[in-house]
Amino acid sequence: MQVEQLTKDGAVTKRIIKEGLGKTPEPKNIVSVHYDAYLVDTNTKFDSSRDRKTEFTFQLRDSKVIEAWELAIPTMKVGEIAEVICTSDYGYGDKGRKYLVPSKAKLRFEVELLGFWEKSGTAPERIAAAHKKKNEGNELFQQGAIETALFTYRKAREYVKDLWDCEPEELDEARQLTVALHLNIGACHLKLKQYDNAIDTCKEALSRDHTNIKAYYRLSQAYMEKGEYDASLTFINLGLELKPNDKSLQALKKSVEQAQQKYLKSSTSLYRKMFSTPQPEE
């Protein structure tokens, strides 16, 4: 990829390693990233959120990060991975960073933008922000960027999952939105074959809306994929009690029963071979 100069003097450059999707952050957005940080002269890694297994979250233009990041991250899209190189003027300057970065050190970062969102405000603002984030997640999901969509849905959920101090109609909207986000998160986990996570998330949705047919359907899917056919059929039947003519649940029930029968036949055949009477040698 081509190197882009982010300052006129070339003191901060950016090279895209992996393209992202969607929009770029706006001023004062909260952003979340993973990064590895290196000293250019020795190629020594001095910091890494990935090694800590904890994403780094901060607000743009809040004086919490070096200037090179303030210039580079607003140009990135969700899912993008970029190499950012800067001189000390846009890094840690003459002082450096105690024990880690020497004075006047040139730095290199590999940064991945995981997501961004607006700072929380009033109940209507938080609900609107959650809807906006949910729509972004839907676009990412449709484009096949499942991991990025999952992160985006989670951030949308953060806006509304603990929203209580609001009007009754706002509370109801927040509840419905939270359920929808749990289901979307569950769909991502299913796509990623993270079946236990899908089960936990769909159960969260049911705890807020025990009549939600999609939650029963996705729970049943996850159990089927795990080979837990009895559990899958249990949730299918619970869903059919609420909506007996639901074609999606009826079709899934048929698929689960067929998979269960196939499994039982193969197991029976295996046991027969294991415990069959040995034949005498000739």
Indicate which residue of 38, 56, 90, 92 is catalytic.
92
159 is known as an active-site residue: no
For the record, the structure tokens of 72 come out as 């580079």
216 is known as an active-site residue: no
Residue type, 165: D
199 is known as an active-site residue: no
114 in Cβ contact with 32 (< 8 Å): yes
141 is known as an active-site residue: no
Indicate which residue of 38, 56, 90, 109 is catalytic.
109
Count helices and strands in the chain by DSSP H and E runs: 9, 7
Indicate which residue of 30, 35, 217, 223 is catalytic.
35
Indicate which residue of 36, 46, 58, 200 is catalytic.
46
CA 59 to chain centre: 20
41 is known as an active-site residue: no
109 is known as an active-site residue: yes
Exposure string for 86-111, b = 16+ CB within 10 A, e = fewer: bbbbbbbbeeebeeebeeebbbbbbb
**Residue 249 CB neighbour total at 10 angstroms:** 22
Indicate which residue of 30, 38, 56, 66 is catalytic.
66
Catalytic residues: 35, 46-47, 66, 92, 109
